[in-house]
Amino acid sequence: MRAAVKAKFNMSDAAVNALQGEVLTELYAQTQQSVGLNNNSANGNGDNQWMVTHSTKRRKAMSNVIYRGSVKREPQTVNIVINDTSAPGAVVKLHNGKLEAAADLKGRRFLLGNNRFKGQTIEQAYAKGDTATAFRLEPEQEYYAQIADGTYNFGDELTVKQAGGKLTKAETGDVVLFFFDEESQRVISGGKGYADVVVANAYTK
């Protein structure tokens, strides 16, 4: 299974060995689905256009991973002790050498990930004092992030200014950190929403 994924996506040994569970199964399924008759690609020509389009659509439906970007390039992460009980998908910042949920735009910010190697799901909060995995905010990288209750449309500018590190709509004067990246309008309610987002090249609205 890993050999097929490695060959199809031209991944390094380290990257393919890091894949676990449903993510690995999903990628392996794509290696099978993108092959048509006579070993030609399923769209009938020599490129992988069909596979890319199919992958994008299916990726949007995956709700068990924080990172949504390309499998060919591992996102840049840090591993730092966390000083609260935030859950994956929250925006966090460095404070006195430790991570904590960001409620403002001060300090260096990251998006909290889940520790896949320990079997942590995105719903499982870290314990205070755990070593947490967090993603660096690189423009145009795609993630699944915690988002405050509200109505959101494709392309909405997002910032963080609420307790718990949840994203919310940016207003005039706010620093835009992300864009809402779901094609259909969504109403988030219940206080436990997640959404597909894209990292912005931070700017003041």
Q: pLDDT value at position 34?
A: 38
Q: pLDDT value at position 46?
A: 38
Whether the Cβ atoms of residue 150 and residue 174 lie closer than 8 Å to each other: no
Residues of the chain with pLDDT under 70: 1-2, 5-6, 8-64, 69-73
Reply yes or no on domain 77-204 having CATH 2.40.300: yes
Whether the Cβ atoms of residue 181 and residue 196 lie closer than 8 Å to each other: yes
Model pTM above 0.85: no
Domain boundaries, the chain: 2-61, 77-204
Q: pLDDT value at position 7?
A: 74
Q: pLDDT value at position 77?
A: 93
Q: pLDDT value at position 3?
A: 77
Torsion of CA 102, 104, 105, 110, to 10 degrees: 10
Average pLDDT, whole number, for the chain? 80
Q: How far is CA 118 from CA 25, 105, 127, 161, in A?
A: 18, 30, 13, 30
Q: pLDDT value at position 65?
A: 78
